[in-house]
Amino acid sequence: MTVRWDHLPAPQIREIASKPGALVVLPVGSLEQHGPHLPTITDTVSAHEVSIAAAEIAARDIPVLVLPGLWTGMSEHHLPFGGTISLNFAEFSGVIRGIVRSLRADGFGRLLIVNGHGGNKEPLAVIARECAHEFGMPVVATTPWYAAAAVVKEILETAPGAQHACEGEASLMLRIMGEHVRADQFEAAKRQAPAPIEARDGYSRFWAFSERAPVTGTKGDPRPATREKGERLLKAMAEALAAAMKDPVLWRTPDPVWSPGRGQGPTAPV
């Protein structure tokens, strides 16, 4: 049976929701510029494909469904290059919260958010913990590039991990939807002038991508990208996510820290 929520009728979804340990996966990406060589849907489609591949592995052991990918996130730093649609934090948080609230009404009690966009990482960390408190269920957010970091580092030639429209993302997109990748623009995408502004370690502030990746909106080098590397990246990230989906520690019920009188009881079973 398919793991895709959008391919199933409601009665089958209700049946899955009734099973112990049922898990829902929400791919979250963006609609933003990815240089002159990659489509603007890159982060969304990559998160969705990795989620599907991981769920198909995990479904051998647990009931799991994958929602359609959320196609916009927090991408205002890419607006100077055009082709970008962004949400503000309040709206982004509200959309995720509405999804979690709906899942609770549908009978599900676990959510894994699979993120494909770097700009969503910190917002999703906050949203996941807030939703866990509010709805009393484990809500876990991850970015597959980091979840499989050790293997990603072995595969890539030009950087230890994904950057933006780089070797890693270009390879993955060659594997997923190669007909929409402009390999003839890889050389042009690498050109950067003037040099990018480097952020100071240990400090947070807003940087537009026009400062971090001037001219082309590309951070990294897509030229060594291949479909074969994309296949290996997809497999590594799917396996890492599938293992996390079955990790009992990760899916413990959150401590109800906001409950009245919670501070008056034991902090561990006695």
Q: Is the pLDDT of residue 192 over 90?
A: no
120-169, pLDDT tens digit by residue? 999 999 999 999 999 999 999 999 999 999 999 999 999 999 999 999 99
Name the pLDDT band for 268 (thresholds 50, 70, 90). confident
Name the pLDDT band for 270 (thresholds 50, 70, 90). low
Distance CA 162, CA 157 (A): 11
Name the pLDDT band for 205 (thresholds 50, 70, 90). very high
Residue partners of 78: CB distance under 8 A and separation at least 6: 30, 32, 33, 84, 86, 119, 209, 217
Q: What is the secondary structure of 174-185 as a DSSP string?
A: HHHHGGG--GGG
Query: What's the rounded mean pLDDT across residues 37-56?
Result: 98
Residue 217 has phi, psi (to 5 degrees) of: 75, 20
- pLDDT for 261 equals 95
Distance CA 157, CA 225 (A): 9
Picking from 49-58, 97-106, 252-261, which range would have the lowest pLDDT averaged per residue?
Answer: 252-261
Q: pTM (2 decimals)?
A: 0.96
Bridge partners of residue 11, in order along the sequence: none
Distance CA 270, CA 258 (A): 21
Residue partners of 20: CB distance under 8 A and separation at least 6: none
5-42, pLDDT tens digit by residue? 999 999 999 999 999 999 999 999 999 999 999 999 99
Residue 223 burial (CB < 10 Å; 0-12/13-18/19+)? middle
- pLDDT for 196 equals 85
Could you check whether the bond before residue 248 is cis, i.e. omega within 30 degrees of 0?
no
213-250, pLDDT tens digit by residue? 999 999 999 999 999 999 999 999 999 999 999 999 99
- pLDDT for 191 equals 86
Distance CA 92, CA 218 (A): 25
Distance CA 224, CA 168 (A): 9
Mean pLDDT (the chain) is 96
Name the pLDDT band for 110 (thresholds 50, 70, 90). very high
Under a CB-based contact definition with an 8 Å cutoff, are residues 69 and 17 in contact? Answer: no
- pLDDT for 197 equals 87
CATH superfamily, domain at 5-157+234-254: Creatininase (3.40.50.10310)
Name the pLDDT band for 172 (thresholds 50, 70, 90). very high
In the numeric block, the tokens 């995990």 are attached to 58
Using alpha carbons, select from 187, 171, 157, 178 the residue that is nearest to residue 235: 171
Distance CA 108, CA 246 (A): 16
Query: What's the rounded mean pLDDT across residues 176-181?
Result: 98
